[in-house]
Structure 1
Amino acid sequence: MGPGRTSRRSGAVAAFDDGSGLGEVVDEAGDRWPFHCTAVADGSRTIAAGTAVAFTLVPGRAGRWEAADLRPA
């Protein structure tokens, strides 16, 4: 079983590349979760590294979990 989609997690954006639209969030437990720019909830498709966020986890491509619905915390 993977992590539950409905549970919100807290963390911070560890890295984000505007060119590729790919980033990574680190949650409070230290787990790292990839995300795509379309996961930024405000529709801006960009977010600064170091931004504190709340997010959910969803099944992504290739069977791995990804961060989604990223919102500033």
Structure 2
Amino acid sequence: MATSAPQSGTVVEFNDGVGLGLLRADDSGANFEFHCTALLDGSRTVEVGARVEFELLPGHGGRLEANRIRKFPSNSQS
């Protein structure tokens, strides 16, 4: 399965109860769903507004989903 080049974006929604979220890509402004298991740090949670790097992979129903998500260090925010 081919992966996309890494992209950056921002988490715009996250539901801890079901582990599902939505992030917005910086370059296109498109929104992509993700599951907490896609977070590479193993934390299973992420804050809304967090800056991330991700790759796109085909998901449920063939739609692209964010995967292999890496959180940017929070100390880079002012």
User: Could you tell me the TM-score, scaled by structure 1's length?
Assistant: 0.90
Q: CA RMSD for the aligned pairs?
A: 1.1
CA–CA separation in structure 2 for the residues paired with 1:6 and 1:35: 15
Runs (5+) with no aligned partner, structure 1: none
Instruction: Tell me the matched-pair count.
Output: 70
Q: Which amino acid aligns with 2:40?
A: A
Runs (5+) with no aligned partner, structure 2: 73-78
1:26 equivalent in structure 2: 24
Which residue of 15, 21, 30 corresponds with 1:17?
15
CA–CA separation in structure 2 for the residues paired with 1:6 and 1:15: 22
- The structure that has the greater radius of gyration is 2
Which whole-Å deviations, capped at 9, do the CAs of 1:19-47 have from their partners, x for residues lacking one?
A: 01100010012100000010111011110
CA–CA separation in structure 2 for the residues paired with 1:70 and 1:58: 11
CA–CA separation in structure 1 for the residues paired with 2:55 and 2:41: 15
SS at structure 1 position matched to 2:61 = helix
What is the identity percentage for the equivalent residue pairs of Structure 1 and Structure 2? 44
